[in-house]
A and B are shown apart, each in its own frame.
Chain A
Amino acid sequence: MKAWDAIIIGGGHNGLVNACYLQRAGLDVLVVEKNDWVGGAATSRELTPGFLYSNCSYVCSLFRPEIMRDLDLPRFGLQVISYEGGAVFRRDGDYLANYRDHDAHRREFARFSKRDAEAYDRYSRDVTRQCRFIQPLLMRTAPDPTSLRPRDLGELLYLGKKFAGLSAEEMALTLRFWTMSISEFLDEYFETDVIKANFALSGIIGTALGPMSPGTAYVLLHHYMGEVDGSVGAWGYARGGMGAVTKALAASFKASGGTIRTSAEVDHVLVNRGKAKGVVLAGGEEIYGKLVVSNADVKRTFLKLVEEKELPDIFLRRVKNFKIRGSSGKVNIALDSLPEFPALPKDSPVYRGDMHFTDSIERMERAYDDWKAGRWSADPFLDMVIPTTLDPTMAPPGKHFMSCFVQYAPPKVNGREWTDADRDGFAESVIAQIAEYSPGFRDRIVHMEVRTPREIEAEVGLTEGNIFQGELTFDQLLFNRPVPGYAQYRSPLGGLYMCGSSTHPGGGVMGAPGRNAAAEILRDLAKSTSHMSPAHDVI
């Protein structure tokens, strides 16, 4: 019976990145994917004829350019296009726009507050400084602070040196940034509700926290530390939808000799004497591998795919307590024409950016209150984009695909499972909100896909539908991600590794966990990592 050098469970972007790097190091690698397509949460699916849906992740910034280059992804079709700005619509009929042009941006803020307009430079300086501190950490394995191994000591020293390189003021800011609420952080710079709401949204997207919860300032940073071709903090659309990322990865993987099996759901990991030996598919088929890498989140991996008895108690308890709470859903819509927003001038670049309807932090927090009570938000927070305004490949000319990321959606409704009626109610809360600002919106809808945490977990496999495979709170970052002692992509079982977003440096379509895991695996196999570019210099 054939034994693969490595079996990757799950063909999400991190699984594929991991597979690509291992295959290119000379290993014989198999990716097993339960769906009959690859992509995980980075997919483009034609759910209605002529329309491609980025039906999970929908915008791109975090995906590391070093990986794109190493794996030759442009040759396999990956293109990322920066988008133009965005807006928060206000209830008084006005809006606050974000413009790429620095001076237009300032003038826009000055419509609401001259002070805030001029505060933006200081804000962006401070955020940029923090991004520059974190960026180089993304492509490194987090050190184990309890270990005396030279490598860990070296990495700790690196971290310490980087931290010591900060001024006293920056150090204070760093610690505050990693622990504060986004609401309090923004209070230090701005006075206007809508301007604070405009920035605060990056602090809540994907997390089961409200803008007033400690820890959300870091979530903002997590959304800012990406780039589009050197423009740090910029976001873009993957041409052809987010599936273009995983399509290119899959093609690159196959071109280097790798094998992908779709419709192959793993039932459990084969374990023999504390060592992973392969996987057993849902149909009972056994596939053997010298090592197994799980792209699934840490809970799914160790609570569903591995038998409890194989794992140490403390590890197991920590995995059970790992925070991976469902907080968001998606409504993906095919439109037969571009929606109109009477508040927006017809030639506004905002149509080509991200749009929002939550014009105060208080409304965001109220939306979160509903989540705490076990309900979806009656007045939800939406991150809405129409990628077809820039990407001609996703819908026929004149038609549009709209992606609405929706927060908050609880993993369970009032303590029970979601029902189809709940899902429809959730969708209605979204459509109703858009229609208030865009008359006739409902009539443009050709087709709609609604995904609550239930659908996301069932299809993508993300526990509770948490898009980050675990909260990005400070207690779950760096050498504590996913759990203390296992932050270096290894697990208590020999030959079983983790490569998903549950690991450092966390979620978003970044690819860094998959890449870093590959580096650790190759280190264990004493194989070269010369095909892996180090992180680009931050100068």
Chain B
Amino acid sequence: MAQATRKKPVATTANAAVSARTLAQTHFRTLRLGTPFQPRLDALAKTQDWYNWAGYRAPHSLWDEELEYFAIRSQAALFDISPMTKYRIEGPDAEAFLDRVTLRDVTKLRPGRVHYTAWCDDEGFVLDDGTLFRLSPTRFRLCSQERHLPWLLDSALGFDVTVEEETEAVAGLALQGPTSFAVLRDAGFTGVEKLKIFDLAEFPHDGGTVIISRTGFTGDLGYELFVPADKALSLWDRLMTAGELRGIRAIGYTALNRARLEAGLIVANADFTTAEHAIRADRLRMPDEIGLGFMIDLEKAHFNGRRAILEARTRRRLRHVLVGLEIEGNIPAEHAIVYYKKSQEVGLVSAAMWSPMAKRNIAIASLARPYGDTVVEDLWVEIYAMRELQYQKLMKRAKVVARPFIKLDRRTANPPADF
């Protein structure tokens, strides 16, 4: 042998960090994690109809997707939102940092309040939308569909703030529907009646606390509850017990998705493509192009994407618009192409349904401006309805309408009613 082989011993004494890391190796055996509520969901999952929500086993439905929808609108529906990405953002500069990262004015978000917001990259393209919870003057929780840790950490340079991903540590539940307030009150959450829409407060639970906010994704009276993962099951049981006489039911995503569409709310990577996932450059969207222009506050301090957004507005470079459509007939127009004068392709429907609450055929669509913006007449959708292995092709008139498609007084009533 002309050359000696250098010896390089493999370390045998693993330190604590290594052993913790090694213990976590086995995750490959469970490709779809259960959430902290999984034992309860499993017990109720009569349909066994699961989908992959950000790596978690989440129910499309649990027992009957249509009846689950009616539970939202008539009683109280319990939906597990634990897979939602959650970041804990804390520090003296947390407010300034979030004001810089997100579109809306965070200095106006008081402790104990929540707002729906979005954030953009430097080009002004939307990275995601989500909800920002102000838990204290210096502590926030940001909830979103996608993951943004590198973006948040990079943006934190120069701010005295820590950003920590806490998706697995914090379990979340949405309790939505007309009796949701009554359920919480009966469960003993004293003072919950004081919560106005977008308020949050901490309540004692099982030796710890649960954060309850009057928020939701249904356009109905409803609340969201966040609790440390180890208190998840006791919270579930507390709600289910209290809700028994108020018609509480656990539901899956299909039902929730219907409610959110009636409420006119959009879903990232369903109704628009988030900037860090868009492979095709023309799929990127500015806030004004997906109906989030209302969030932009040019009076507030500098925020990511401000320059680009302003430039696109002044130079009229906004190419798309997201609109609500009301379509004639009752056949859902999911993923239908939108035409101008029945011939010129001008956009795509991203979500559609027959709305039981509005008794209308509704949809959310993205159109190429000026269609949907200044030109709103003579719009049509071509629906391919598969019926027993044949497409019934329908050309139906579409009317641009305001969102939300339904407005329920009980959502904002104070004090909230029992049903």
Contacts and interface: CB of A to CB of B under 8 A. Distances in A.
A111 B24 contact: yes
A117 B146 CA distance: 12
Nearest to B11: A92
Contact of B123 (A92, A169, A379): A169
A121 B28 contact: no
Contacts of B27: 104, 107-108, 111
A399 interface: no
B378 to A, nearest CB: 29
B150 A94 contact: no
Contact of A376 (B3, B26, B149, B277): B3
B2 to A, nearest CB: 5
Given A104-B28, A166-B281, A422 B2 contact: yes
B359 interface: no
Interface in B257-291: 276-279, 281
> Interface residues of B: mostly helix, strand, loop or mixed?
loop
A93 interface: yes
Interface in A384-429: 413, 419, 421-422, 424-425, 428-429
Nearest to A85: B28
B150 A111 contact: no
A148 to B, nearest CB: 32
Contact of A93 (B3, B14, B31, B281): B14
A345 B24 CA distance: 11
Contacts of B11: 91-93
B273 to A, nearest CB: 11
Task: Name, among B2, B26, B123, B279, the residue most crowded by chain A CB atoms within 10 Å (CB to CB).
Answer: B2
B343 interface: no
A422 B3 contact: yes
Contacts of B123: 169
Interface range, B side: 35 or more
Contacts of B6: 378-379
Nearest to A106: B55
Interface string B4-23: 11101111101000100110
A419 to B, nearest CB: 7
A103 B52 contact: yes
B108 interface: no
A413 B2 contact: yes
B28 A108 contact: yes
B120 to A, nearest CB: 14
Contacts of A95: 25
Contact of A122 (B2, B3, B18, B150): B150
B148 A347 contact: no
A114 interface: yes
A101 B5 contact: no
Interface in A130-175: 132, 166-167, 169-170
A77 interface: no
Contacts, number: 114
B281 A379 contact: no
B277 A94 contact: no
Given A115-B153, A122-B150, A101 B31 contact: yes
Interface string B40-74: 00000000000010110000000000000000000
B407 interface: no
A349 B28 contact: yes
A94 B147 contact: no
B52 A94 contact: no
A125 B147 contact: no
Given A104-B28, A111-B24, A348-B28, A425 B277 contact: no
Contact of A425 (B1, B9, B18): B1
B12 A419 contact: no
B22 A93 contact: yes
B3 A425 contact: yes
B387 interface: no
Interface string B135-159: 0000000000011111001000000
Given A375-B3, A378-B6, A428-B1, A121 B52 contact: no
A114 B149 contact: yes
Contacts of A119: 149-150
Contacts of B4: 378
Contacts of A101: 31
Contacts of A189: 150
Contacts of A349: 28
Contacts of A437: 10
A436 B10 contact: yes
A191 to B, nearest CB: 9
A99 B279 CA distance: 21
Given A345-B28, A422-B3, 4 more contacts: A166-B281, A167-B281, A348-B28, A421-B1
15 contacts: A92-B10, A93-B12, A93-B14, A94-B21, A95-B25, A103-B32, A108-B27, A115-B149, A118-B149, A118-B165, A121-B147, A125-B276, A348-B28, A375-B3, A428-B5
Interface of A: 91-95, 97, 99, 101-104, 106-108, 111-112, 114-115, 117-119, 121-122, 125, 128-129, 132, 166-167, 169-170, 189, 345, 347-349, 375-376, 378-379, 413, 419, 421-422, 424-425, 428-429, 432, 436-437
8 nearest A-B pairs in the assembled complex, by CB-CB distance:
A103-B55, A425-B1, A378-B6, A118-B149, A118-B147, A119-B150, A167-B281, A107-B27
